[in-house]
Amino acid sequence: MFSAQIYSNRRKNLLSMVAKGLIIIPGNNESPSNYKGNTYRFRQDSTFSYFFGIDEPNLLGLIDVDENRQYLIGDNLEIEDIIWMGLQPSMSEKATSVGLTMVLSHNDFKTFLSNAISKKRSIHFTSPYRAENAALLQNLLTISAQELDSTISMELTKAIVSLRSVKSTEEISEIEQMVDVAWIMHTTAMKIARQGTTERKIAGIIEGIALSHGKGVSFPVILSMNGETLHNHNHGNILQHGRLLVTDAGAESELLYASDITRTVPVGGKFDARQKDIYNIVLQANLKAIDMLSPKRQYLDVHLEVGRVIASGLADLGLMKGNIDDIVHAGAHALFFPHGLGHMLGLDVHDMENLGEDNVGYDNTVSRSSQFGLAYLRFARKPLPGYVLTDEPGIYFIPALIDLWRSEKKFTEFINYDKLEAYKNFGGIRIEDDLLVTADGCRVLGKPIPKTVEEIEGIMG
Ligand code: GLY
Ligand code: MN
């Protein structure tokens, strides 16, 4: 955990941003996998972790804005729990570790809330993403599921997003350490990506590396020769010489901060000429974003400029044609780059997406497009210094999408479908780094992970 002072300061900041009432921040509970006692790895709620720090189930945080009081809610362990889980600190000891002095049992909290409800006090909470917490809130507040949805506090949601978006020095250090773990994961994957090795073996080894340095992976490992499937969690193939391997994987720290890195490498260690051509376009796109990212510019502009790099590179190869600005304006390049350039990174790999993607990535200066491809841009507004964003352009040859667009005669003025036929077995390429926004630009976090053709061939050879 960070020092108690850090959690106290975070809560103090939150308290000053909400006008009145009570703020409830539920932590997560254990989640059963196949029966109650056999659970998934416990993952604390990120907002609870940010303000209350304790990485244990069955707790809630309560902030009474009107009385300027903060409570940790939970029950002391009973002898049955101690027999199975060992002696644990008391609730007051846990509270002290994060700068709190007040503790309420679950029963006392229920009474406290009934009292607040009868006095018609405002009660703030964010949208629950786990059914158990939705049920808990409904039960505590004696409201229906519809009422729960309609009483989500936008005031609280916006305050949390604004606080969690700007990463402090100690948070940046956590993320950067996890990028360094991703360095070990990715360079290990590169060294063993040889003909005959299974995807599963590499995925298992790199997941083990993440587990041995922290909480494990920050999201299920994406590792596949079929890299044209954007989030391919299937690890069923045996690597074949001549194919590309996309590995999108990051680590989660003990304090729950994430890294998110993608590299694409040729099985066996040597890119062929065609792979090199496409790879270098994606690399130029990734570098363009590093060059452009700054608090002075909307991320939307960076995304669109990256689209121009991709369209222009594909036009040089004869796969696209026409005016580059027109291509990007029409969204024709989304056949090859059908997702957004990146997302915010922090305690969640897609940071705070549970609080609403638009609440994080959009504001009154920029609204989400409905255009295919651009609609997936998760973050579009101007970032502030201290934001951490991913930079993850890609080029994919998705046979089903190529066939669909071709049958619809879509963008025939911009896409050379005849030439594309030969690329339907290509797969995909994505390159992803984690960038910290600084006062006048950005910094790539972590120890540099091999990225150019020469660096990748060097480490694999
Ligand atoms: N690396 C997974 C994602 O960005 O969605
Ligand atoms: Mn990502």
By CB neighbour count within 10 A (0-12 exposed, 13-18 middle, 19+ buried), where does 19 fall? exposed
Quick check: 81 pLDDT over 90? no
Going by pLDDT thresholds of 50, 70 and 90, the confidence category of residue 443 is very high
Q: How far is the CA of 146 from the centre of ligand 1 (A)?
A: 31
Kindly state the helix (H) or strand (E) to which residue 444 belongs, with its residue range. Answer: strand 442-444
Contacts of 214 (CB under 8 A, 6+ apart): 178, 181, 251, 252, 253, 254
Strand partners, 261: 249
Lowest mean pLDDT among 44-53, 224-233, 397-406: 224-233
Contacts of 204 (CB under 8 A, 6+ apart): none
Q: What is the pLDDT of residues 184-200, one digit of tens each?
A: 999 999 999 999 999 99
pLDDT of amino acid 232: 83
Q: Which atom of ligand 1 is nearest to the CA of 248?
A: 1
Q: How far is the CA of 150 from the centre of ligand 2 (A)?
A: 31
Q: Which atom of ligand 1 is nearest to the CA of 249?
A: 1
Radius of gyration over every alpha carbon of the chain, rounded to an integer in angstroms: 24
Instruction: Give the number of whichever ligand sits closest to the CA of residue 434.
Output: 2
Instruction: Give the number of whichever ligand sits closest to the CA of residue 230.
Output: 1
Q: How far is the CA of 397 from the centre of ligand 1 (A)?
A: 19
First to last CA, the chain: 41
Averaged over 21-42, what is the pLDDT?
97
Going by pLDDT thresholds of 50, 70 and 90, the confidence category of residue 85 is confident
| Residue to probe by mutation, ligand 1, list 218, 222, 388, most atoms within 8 Å of CB | 222
**CA–CA separation, 282 vs 34, rounded Å?**
42
Q: Which CATH architecture has domain 169-460?
A: Alpha-Beta Complex (3.90)
pLDDT of amino acid 231: 86
Instruction: Please count the residues of the chain.
Output: 461
**CA–CA separation, 275 vs 278, rounded Å?**
5
Q: What is the pLDDT of residues 361-388, one digit of tens each?
A: 999 999 999 999 999 999 999 999 999 9
Q: What is the DSSP letter of 240?
A: -
In this prediction, what percent of the chain has a pLDDT beyond 70? Answer: 100
Return the HEC string of 63-103.
EECCCCEEEEECCCCCHHHHHHHCCCCCHHHHHHHCCCCEE
**CA–CA separation, 106 vs 5, rounded Å?**
25
Instruction: Give the number of whichever ligand sits closest to the CA of residue 392.
Output: 2
3 state SS of 383: coil
Cβ < 6 A, ligand 1 pocket: 219, 248, 260
CATH of 4-165, one of 3.40.50.300, 3.40.350.10, 3.40.50.720, 1.20.1330.10: 3.40.350.10
| Cα separation values, 24 from 71, 140, 156, Å | 10, 11, 10
Averaged over 402-416, what is the pLDDT?
98
Q: Structural domain boundaries of the chain?
A: 4-165, 169-460
Q: What is the pLDDT of residues 45-59, one digit of tens each?
A: 999 999 999 999 999
Q: How far is the CA of 66 from the centre of ligand 2 (A)?
A: 40
Q: What is the pLDDT of residues 127-166, one digit of tens each?
A: 999 999 999 999 999 999 999 999 999 999 999 999 999 9
Contact (CB, 8 A) for 202 and 223: yes
Q: Which atom of ligand 1 is nearest to the CA of 342?
A: 4
| Cα separation values, 132 from 27, 55, 111, 170, Å | 11, 18, 20, 32
